[in-house]
């Protein structure tokens, strides 16, 4: 039995990240999703036995295969949490632990993933919150809980793990808390994302960032 598998659910590339639509075109957003997935998978490849991408989207699965990742075709009439249940059922009996992460946390490589995986050998449940009350990583035995992603999932996951007496451990990470949804998030990548595929791509798009004292902390612009 392997020690740990990664599960990355991916919905679709086209028409995604619509909150970025005033700043990036549809094709640019699609490419952004691809480079972020590459950053996440390249990081995890160093630490896990296998990586599984679960999706219903053919473009996503084909791209994942081009990155030499394992793929699972998501069941019809599914949703994010059902997809994760499907993937965990597939992994159960094959690995001791799973690490569940989204595909849009390109700064994952700035976090000490090895430390978390080493800690998971003696801990039942490790969780990393995202900004805004979500969850950006869970490490646990397959099917230890039924996930509740969407909304304020961090507290929900914490409560479920406590009820199941899994003694959940919280790891607070600035870098892993950042999932990309807004132009300001892109600014954070420009600041912190040295050597990532995502920052390299944003530089190709001529994205700039500077401090700002208005309603946003960062002013993110593009050169004409």
What is the structure's pLDDT at 215?
64
Average pLDDT over residues 98-107: 98
Q: Taking the model in full, what pTM does it have?
A: 0.95
pLDDT over threshold 90, residue 216:
no
Give the helix/strand (H/E) hosting 146. none
**Structural domains for the chain:** 2-170 (3.90.550.10), 183-222 (no CATH)
What is the predicted pLDDT for the residue at 214?
Answer: 65
Helix axis angle, 183-192 relative to 197-204, nearest 10°? 110
Q: Which residue has the higher pLDDT, 8 or 22?
A: 8
* Burial per residue of 92-128, b for 16 or more beta-carbon CB atoms within 10 angstroms, e otherwise: eeebebbbbbbbbbbbbbbbebeebbeebeebbbbbb
Q: Check residue 211 and give its pLDDT.
A: 85
**pLDDT band (50, 70, 90) for residue 5:** very high
Whole-number pLDDT of residue 217: 79
- The pLDDT tens digits of the residues spanning 108-145 come to 999 999 999 999 999 999 999 999 999 999 999 999 99
Q: Report pLDDT digits (tens) over 33-56.
A: 999 999 999 999 999 999 999 999
Number of H helices, E strands in the chain: 7, 9
What pLDDT was estimated at residue 17? 93
């Amino acid at each position: 039995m392997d020690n740990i598998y990664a599960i990355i659910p991916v919905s679709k590339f086209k028409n995604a990240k619509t909150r970025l639509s005033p700043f990036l075109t549809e094709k640019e957003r699609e490419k952004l999703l691809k480079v972020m997935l590459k950053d996440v998978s390249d990081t995890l490849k160093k630490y896990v036995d296998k990586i599984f991408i679960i999706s219903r989207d053919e473009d996503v699965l084909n791209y994942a295969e081009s990155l030499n990742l394992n793929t699972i075709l998501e069941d019809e009439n599914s949703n994010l949490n059902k997809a994760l249940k499907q993937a965990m059922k597939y992994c159960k009996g094959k690995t001791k632990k799973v690490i569940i992460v989204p595909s849009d946390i390109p700064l994952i490589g700035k976090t000490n993933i090895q430390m978390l995986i080493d800690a998971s050998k003696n801990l039942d449940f490790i969780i990393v919150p995202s900004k805004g009350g979500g969850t950006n990583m869970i490490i646990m035995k397959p099917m230890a809980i039924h996930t509740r992603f969407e909304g304020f999932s961090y507290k929900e996951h914490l409560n479920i793990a406590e009820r199941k007496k899994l003694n959940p451990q919280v790891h607070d990470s600035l870098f892993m808390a950042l999932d990309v949804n807004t132009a300001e998030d892109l600014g954070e990548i420009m600041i912190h994302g040295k050597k990532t595929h995502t920052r390299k791509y944003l530089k190709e798009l001529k994205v700039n960032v500077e401090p700002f004292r208005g309603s946003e902390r960062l002013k993110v612009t593009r050169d004409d």
